[in-house]
């Protein structure tokens, strides 16, 4: 049996994130279905009948994912088509869950997924904050305060990228995606400005500019 933290991360990946879903094993038994159902049984107080229905829905979802990602190892896979198929499989699975669970259970499920999702991205943000600690001389309080700000921004950016991943990117789509990413970046900068001192903000901006220059040289 997987640890609870890994199980919860798998729950989020399985149900709601197309980009994470594509990284799952391409077999229905590659997912820890038993662990996910066990987690949901406790958190949502599933009945015996619902346990069977959710298990069946997860197994069907696993098969759909296997079919959707079957070409992932091809030399030149059609990523847009694959992501579209993954999104369709995810939508079908969500529809199945809506027919199985009560409104109260669905609300609890969404809250659970949102909580774990935020935990995942705040953990990723913590890695980036670690790199900023020394150069910006962050206090422990500042580092803790930055986690939800940066985690939320990273989560938003991933959501935008996934949303556009199966679209043909014409000028209008590219502009729409760029504007959404800029808005997320702007919100993050505003949040960081409430936590960092003016001197720290100046140092951070200088670090970002130096990073851009280094990327140009590469």
Asked if residues 12 and 117 have their Cβ atoms less than 8 Å apart, the reply is yes
C-alpha span between 24 and 14 (Å, rounded): 8
The tokens for 33 are 């279905």
Asked if residues 31 and 62 have their Cβ atoms less than 8 Å apart, the reply is yes
Asked if residues 168 and 177 have their Cβ atoms less than 8 Å apart, the reply is no
pTM: 0.72
Checking phi first, is residue 175 left (phi over 0); if not, alpha (psi -120 to 50) or beta?
A: alpha
The tokens for 35 are 């662990």
Query: Cα 135 to chain center, whole Å?
Result: 29
- Report pLDDT for 31: 59
- Report pLDDT for 98: 95
- Report pLDDT for 160: 87
Per-residue pLDDT tens over the stretch 60-69: 988 887 787 7
Question: Is the alpha carbon torsion for 127, 129, 132, 133 positive or negative?
Answer: negative
List helix spans (H) across the chain: 4-16, 18-21, 33-44, 48-68, 79-100, 103-136, 140-164, 171-193, 198-217
CB burial readout 122-137, b (16+ within 10 A) else e = bebbeeebeebeeebe
User: Residues in the chain with pLDDT < 70?
Assistant: 1-31, 72-73, 218
Measured distance between the N- and C-terminal CA atoms of the chain, rounded to whole angstroms: 44
Per-residue pLDDT tens over the stretch 144-187: 999 999 999 998 998 888 788 777 778 888 899 999 999 999 99
- Residue 71 DSSP code: T
- Report pLDDT for 23: 37
- Report pLDDT for 44: 93
218 by Cβ neighbours in 10 Å (0-12 / 13-18 / 19+) ranks as: exposed
- Report pLDDT for 26: 33
Asked if residues 136 and 198 have their Cβ atoms less than 8 Å apart, the reply is no
Q: At what angle do helices 171-193 and 140-164 cross, to 10 degrees?
A: 170
- Report pLDDT for 61: 86
């Amino acid at each position: 049996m997987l640890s609870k933290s890994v199980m919860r991360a798998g729950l989020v990946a399985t149900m709601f994130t197309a980009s994470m879903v594509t990284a799952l094993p391409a077999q229905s038994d590659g997912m820890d279905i038993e662990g996910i159902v066990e987690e949901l049984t406790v958190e949502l107080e599933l009945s015996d009948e619902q346990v069977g229905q959710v298990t069946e829905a997860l197994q069907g979802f696993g098969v759909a994912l296997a079919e959707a990602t079957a070409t992932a190892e091809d030399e030149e896979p059609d990523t847009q088509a694959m992501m579209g198929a993954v999104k369709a499989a995810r939508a079908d699975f969500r529809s199945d869950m809506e027919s199985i669970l009560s409104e109260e259970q669905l609300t609890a499920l969404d809250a659970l997924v949102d909580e774990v999702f935020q935990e995942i991205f705040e953990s990723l943000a913590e890695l980036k904050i670690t790199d900023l600690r020394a150069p910006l001389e962050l206090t422990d309080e500042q580092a803790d305060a930055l986690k939800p700000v940066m985690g939320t921004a990273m989560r938003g950016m991933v959501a935008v990228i996934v949303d556009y991943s199966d679209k043909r990117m014409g000028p209008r789509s590219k502009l729409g995606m760029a504007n959404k990413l800029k808005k997320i970046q702007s919100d993050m900068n505003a949040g960081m400005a409430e936590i960092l001192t003016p001197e720290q903000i100046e140092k951070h901006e200088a670090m970002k500019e130096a990073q851009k220059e280094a990327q140009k040289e590469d």
